[in-house]
Amino acid sequence: MKVLVVEDDQVSQKLTVKVLEKNNYEVFTVETGKDAVKFLETGEEQIDIVISDIMMPVMDGFNLLSYMKADIRLRRIPVILCTALNDINSVKRALTLGAVDYVTKPIDANTLLAKVRNAEKRVPGAVLVVDDEDLLRGLLSKIIMRDGLKVLQASSGKEALELLDKNNITVVLSDIVMPEMNGLELLVEVKEKNPTMPVVLVTGHGSEYSKDDILAAGADGFISKPFKNAEIISRIRPYFK
């Protein structure tokens, strides 16, 4: 679980980082809301939770939260606001703008950890993209990430099963034609372990597998190549309501 801490007060920042890292969270830090926006927009790290101070120069925590909620790529990330104000108006404003929770300074380690763990329950699961072709796997991942969803990638059915065992996955998107274990075989394995896990299969033009074959095998949907970006999103998004 990756957490971005946005805090210009070094004492509070160090305490927050210490508490989170001690409990096995991967932590990144920036000191201003403006720097947080730059960090999030690069997309180099798929952040799961943001903890932000309210009182910061240039862009405060309220403005950062508003920016994130207005951006389709960022609005699903749970945000906890941290404030020394401790007044009811600040709390109301934070929750109205879409914060999942708030903490007050001085920070209490147990309270912080409890609130982060509660926020973790609000973190959407990932889309597991499975394809042995690097180019197509990367393309599908970029399309999905632009819609603000977390993506995990697997280059084989075996790797996909390993990732499913260790991660919070909401839906599997897999190509059918792959060596060793094809998409239909992966579908069977996934459904045996977790019958409710949605699996959407991608099939090429002229494939030996028909729509009826794919649905009869238990797939929750299919996408035919060549596909449009909007079609990928329309098939995946309903699982993240």
Identity (one letter) of the amino acid at 205?
A: H
pTM above 0.85, yes or no: no
What is the arithmetic mean of pLDDT over 91-113? 93
The larger pLDDT score, comparing residue 215 to residue 166, is at: 166
* pLDDT level of residue 205 (50, 70, 90 thresholds): low
The counts of H helices and E strands in the chain are 10, 10
Question: Which residues belong to CATH 3.40.50.2300 in the chain?
Answer: 2-120, 126-240
> In this structure, are residues 90 and 83 in contact, taking their beta carbons and an 8 Å threshold?
yes
Phi first, then psi, for residue 184 (nearest 5°) are -70, -40
As given in the structure block, the two tokens for residue 216 are 């009869």
Residues 6+ positions from 141 with CB-CB distance below 8 Å: 129, 151, 153
The rounded distance, in Å, linking the Cα atoms of 171 and 193 is 14
Enclosing H/E stretch for 52:
strand 49-53
pLDDT at 91 over 90: no
- What superfamily in CATH does domain 126-240 come from? Response regulator (3.40.50.2300)
Pairing of strands 26-30, 2-6: parallel
| Residue range 2-120 in CATH 3.40.50.2300 | yes
Segment 65-77, tens digit of pLDDT: 999 999 988 989 9
Give the pLDDT confidence score for residue 206 in this predicted structure.
56
Question: Residue 5's closest CA among 35, 21, 24, 29?
Answer: 29
Task: Specify the length of the chain in residues.
Answer: 241
